[in-house]
């Protein structure tokens, strides 16, 4: 009888050890899977960061390529067929800035309608893209356009603007409320290329690339923090 009990205990012990061994193996496999998931997640995070970095670099490269461009908005379709888009831009300058002279116009590198195909769903004319040789000539013309405010081409209202990517345009729009408040406080705010805020504070020119950096600066300047508290 004792031998029978011993055999049963030994069988249960073997079964328990076998079960324990399977649990250990299962835990090891689970641990391996978890480690692998962590590796995959880390790899995906690194890949996402590389993709975002590449996208940012591409946007910066593209904006640098376009940094000398001027968009002419509102010129009726067909005007360029007889005289060419470059001639149209010359007429715009002559009509709106007669004192500017031809110096800036000699720096036109390229002029064309964009996009290349007319969208029948749009009633507005395609923009004319003017590529200048030098940034300073583009800035001179755009500064004159901002000061004049109302521009025309043969009596038709038009606009001149810088040529930015959609991301940069959005980044610039995000500064508009802050710009308006600062103008009212005589901080002499400006938007620098492509989307940096610059203003004069305590006798110095301050420049910020995003709201987070401006927020951190305001935390050290209670007076400025109070002025911008609703906007940051």
Query: Which domain-ending residue is among 65, 88, 115?
Result: 65
Range of the structural domain that residue 176 is part of: 169-227
Give the model confidence (pLDDT) of 24-62 as tens digits.
Answer: 777 777 777 777 877 777 777 677 667 665 565 555 665
- Are residues 159 and 205 located together in one domain of the fold? no
Q: List the structure tokens of 21.
A: 């061994």
**Number of structural domains the chain divides into:** 3
Q: List the structure tokens of 14.
A: 């073997």
CATH code, 206: 3.30.250.20
* The pLDDT value given to residue 108: 84
How much is the CA Rg of the chain, to the nearest whole Å? 33
For residue 131, list its beta bridge partners.
69, 110
Query: CA separation (Å) from 124 to 25, 88, 91, 220?
Result: 70, 17, 20, 48
- Are residues 180 and 128 located together in one domain of the fold? no
- Are residues 78 and 109 located together in one domain of the fold? yes
Give the model confidence (pLDDT) of 144-173 as tens digits.
Answer: 998 888 999 999 999 998 887 777 888 888
Query: Looking at the predicted structure, is the pLDDT value of residue 119 above 90?
Result: no
Q: Is residue 140, in this structure, part of any structural domain at all?
A: yes
């Amino acid at each position: 009888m004792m031998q029978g009990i011993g055999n049963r205990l030994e069988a249960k012990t073997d079964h328990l050890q076998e079960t324990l061994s399977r649990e250990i193996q299962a835990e090891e496999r689970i641990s391996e899977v978890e480690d692998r998931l962590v590796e995959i997640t880390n790899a995906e995070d690194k890949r996402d960061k590389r993709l975002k970095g590449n996208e940012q670099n591409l946007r910066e490269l593209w904006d640098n390529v376009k940094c000398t461009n001027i968009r002419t908005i509102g010129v009726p379709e067909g005007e360029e067929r007889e005289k060419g888009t470059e001639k149209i831009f010359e007429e715009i300058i002559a009509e709106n800035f007669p004192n500017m002279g031809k110096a800036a116009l000699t720096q036109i590198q390229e002029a064309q309608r964009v996009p290349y195909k007319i969208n029948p769903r749009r009633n507005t004319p395609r923009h004319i893209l003017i590529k200048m040789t030098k940034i300073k000539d583009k800035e001179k013309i755009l500064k004159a356009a901002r000061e004049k405010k109302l521009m025309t081409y043969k009596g038709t209202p038009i606009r001149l603007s810088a040529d930015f990517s959609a991301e940069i345009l959005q980044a610039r729009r995000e500064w508009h409320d802050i710009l308006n408040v600062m103008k009212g406080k005589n901080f002499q705010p400006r938007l620098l290329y492509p989307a940096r805020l610059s203003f004069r504070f305590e006798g110095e020119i301050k420049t910020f690339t995003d709201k987070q950096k401006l927020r951190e600066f305001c935390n050290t300047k209670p007076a400025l923090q109070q002025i911008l508290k609703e906007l940051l």
